[in-house]
C-alpha cells in the first residue's frame, strides 16, 4: 500500500511516471469500474441526463482504446496497464475534486451578477485543476511513449478532441 501512495503522490507532483506504479490489472479494472460509476453519477447530477452506465462504459473504453492504440503505434503495448492506471487515477481524482467544487457552486444563478463571491471563488479554482489535469496527462504520455513534453501535450489535446467527438456521438446515439 505504501508503494501505491508514494507512486501516486509522485505522479501528481510530476516526479514519477506511470512505470513507477505497480503492475496491477485488477486495480486498472477497479478504476475503470469506478470511472463508469463516477461518469454516470456526474451525468445524472450535473446535466440532468439519465446517467446511462452503458454510455459511460463505451466512453471510457474508447478513451482506453485510444491510449492502447498510441502505445501499440509507438511499439510499447506492454506499458498499457500502468499507463491506463495512471491516466484513470489522474482523471478520477481530479474529477472528484472538481465535482466537490461544483457541489458548492450549484445551482448556478440565472444572471451572472447574482453569483455569490463563494461561488465565484470555487469556479475560479476549476481552471487550475483543468490545467493540472492536462499537464498530468501530458506527463504520463511523455513517460509512457518516451516523447518530448510538447509532443505529449499535442497528443493530449488531440486525444481530448477525439474523446469529445466520441462522447458527443455516443450521447446522440443514446437519446
In angstroms, how far is the first alpha carbon of the chain from the final one? 42
Please name the residue that has the C-alpha cell 469556479: 123
CA 101, chain centre distance (Å): 16
Confidence of residue 65 (pLDDT cuts 50, 70, 90): very high
Is the pLDDT confidence value at 49 over 80? Answer: no
For the segment 22-47, what is each residue's pLDDT rounded down to a tens digit? 999 999 999 999 999 888 888 777 76
Q: What is the pLDDT of residues 88-98, one digit of tens each?
A: 999 999 989 98
Tell which residue, 160, 29, 37, 15, has the closest CA to residue 96: 37
Q: Residues 132, 90: contact at Cβ < 8 Å? A: no
For residue 73, the tally of other CB atoms under 10 A from its CB is: 10
Beta carbons within 8 Å of 12's beta carbon, 6+ residues apart? 90, 93, 136
Domain that holds residue 70: 2-107+114-173
Supply φ then ψ for residue 74, to 5 degrees. -85, -5
What CA dihedral angle connects 96, 162, 48 and 174, to 10 degrees?
-130
- Per-residue pLDDT band for 153 (boundaries 50, 70, 90) equals very high
Tell me which residue has cell 505522479. 11
Give the SS3 label for residue 107. coil
d(CA 57, CA 39): 9
113 half-sphere exposure, CB direction, 13 A CA radius: 0
**Number of structural domains found in the chain:** 1
pLDDT band of residue 50 (cuts 50, 70, 90) is: low
If one counts every other C-beta atom within 10 angstroms of the C-beta of residue 27, the result is 17
Residue of 29, 17, 56 lying closest to 40 (CA atoms) = 56
Q: Can you say how many angstroms the Cα of residue 49 is from the centroid of all Cα atoms in its chain? A: 20
Window from 8-22, 51-65, 77-91 with minimum mean pLDDT: 51-65
Cβ–Cβ under 8 Å, residues 89 and 29: no
Amino acid at each position: 500500500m505504501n508503494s501505491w501512495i508514494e507512486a501516486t503522490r509522485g505522479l501528481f507532483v510530476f516526479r514519477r511516471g506511470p512505470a513507477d506504479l505497480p503492475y496491477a490489472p485488477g486495480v486498472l479494472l477497479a478504476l475503470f469500474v469506478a470511472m463508469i460509476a463516477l461518469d454516470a453519477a456526474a451525468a445524472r447530477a450535473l446535466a440532468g441526463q439519465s446517467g446511462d452506465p452503458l454510455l459511460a462504459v463505451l466512453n471510457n473504453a474508447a478513451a482506453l482504446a485510444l491510449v492502447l492504440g498510441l502505445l501499440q503505434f509507438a511499439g510499447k503495448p506492454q506499458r498499457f496497464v500502468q499507463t491506463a492506471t495512471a491516466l484513470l487515477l489522474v482523471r478520477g481524482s481530479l474529477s472528484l475534486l472538481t465535482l466537490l467544487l461544483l457541489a458548492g457552486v450549484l445551482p448556478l444563478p440565472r444572471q451572472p451578477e447574482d453569483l455569490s463571491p463563494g461561488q465565484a471563488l470555487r469556479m475560479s479554482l476549476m481552471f487550475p485543476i483543468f490545467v493540472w489535469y492536462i499537464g498530468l496527462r501530458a506527463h504520463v504520455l511523455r513517460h509512457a511513449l518516451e516523447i518530448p513534453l510538447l509532443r505529449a501535450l499535442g497528443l493530449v489535446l488531440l486525444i481530448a478532441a477525439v474523446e469529445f467527438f466520441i462522447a458527443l456521438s455516443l450521447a446522440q446515439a443514446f437519446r
